[in-house]
Amino acid sequence: MRANLAKIFGGIAILLIILILVGFLRPAHWTAEVSVEAHLDPDVIFTYLNDLEKWDEWTMWSDIDSEITDPSHGEGAMRTWQDENFGSGRIRIVESYPPTILAYEVTNDSGAWVFGEFRLTVLPTSTLITWTEQGDLGNNPLMGYLAERIGHSQQKQMASGLESLKLRASD
What are the pLDDT digits (tens) for 11-51?
Answer: 776 776 666 665 665 567 889 999 999 999 999 999 999 99
Q: Mind listing the pLDDT tens digit for each residue in 91-143?
A: 999 999 999 999 999 999 888 899 999 999 999 999 999 999 999 877 766 66
Which regions of 1-111 does DSSP assign to beta strands (E)?
29-38, 66-68, 78-83, 87-97, 101-108
Per the CB < 8 A criterion, the answer to whether 30 and 134 are in contact is: yes
Provide the pLDDT confidence category of residue 83 given band limits of 50, 70 and 90: confident
How much is the pLDDT for 97?
Answer: 98
Residue 114, pLDDT score: 95
Percent of the chain that is helix, strand, coil (3-state, to 5): 40, 35, 25
What's residue 79's pLDDT?
Answer: 96
Domains and CATH numbers, the chain: 2-170 (3.30.530.20)
